[in-house]
Structure 1
Amino acid sequence: MEKLKTFLAAMPGLDRQRFAVRCGTTHAFLRNIVYGQRIAGEKLCVAIERESSGAVTRRDLRPADWHEIWPELAAKAAA
């Protein structure tokens, strides 16, 4: 979760809250993901990737199982 942590840390506090809202969650929940207390759901992973303009990807957020959730990305990575 280092990428998400670094991405959020680079933002001023209010921007972090706005980012979380655009992703459909709260800054507190994002913090829980960063520190391993929660796992980002599939929809949230897609939203974070979209709202971060790809700076934090689904692969970053779900390193153990991203290839099972999004097999089309695994196919692209293998090509």
Structure 2
Amino acid sequence: MALPSYPAEKRREIASRLGIEEQYLYQITRGLKTAGAALAKQLNTVDPAAQLWDLRPDDWHLIWPELIEVDGAPKLKTEQEVAHG
């Protein structure tokens, strides 16, 4: 699942609740920036549709290993798949 695309007003509201700039939230939700682990957790708390594995696509399984078997979690690549891109 992709990150939510918030309308500007909703983005301003969420950014204000998180104590970040609205443009930073925009960049995160567009995949231009990666949220830090703590911010990702806060955003997921504010909006559960913002999944942790979408916010931290490269290392979510290392930060939150308890999510590996959760319904909807992305399948992890095998070592061979990683080695071959």
TM-score above 0.5, yes or no: yes
- Output the aligned Cα RMSD: 2.2
Moved over 4 A (4+): none
* Equivalent residues, number: 70
Shift of 1:55: 0.9
Identical aligned pairs, as a percentage?
A: 33
Q: CA-to-partner distance for each residue in 1:23-55, whole Å, 9 max, x for gaps?
A: 23121101222241x210001111111111x11
For structure 2, the residue ranges without an aligned partner over 5 or more in a row are 72-85
TM-score (norm 2): 0.67
Segments of 5+ residues of structure 1 without an aligned counterpart are none
TM-score normalized by structure 1?
Answer: 0.71
Higher relative helix content: 1
Greater relative contact order structure (CA < 8 Å, 6+ sep): 1
Task: Work out which of the two has the higher radius of gyration on C-alpha atoms and give 1 or 2.
Answer: 2
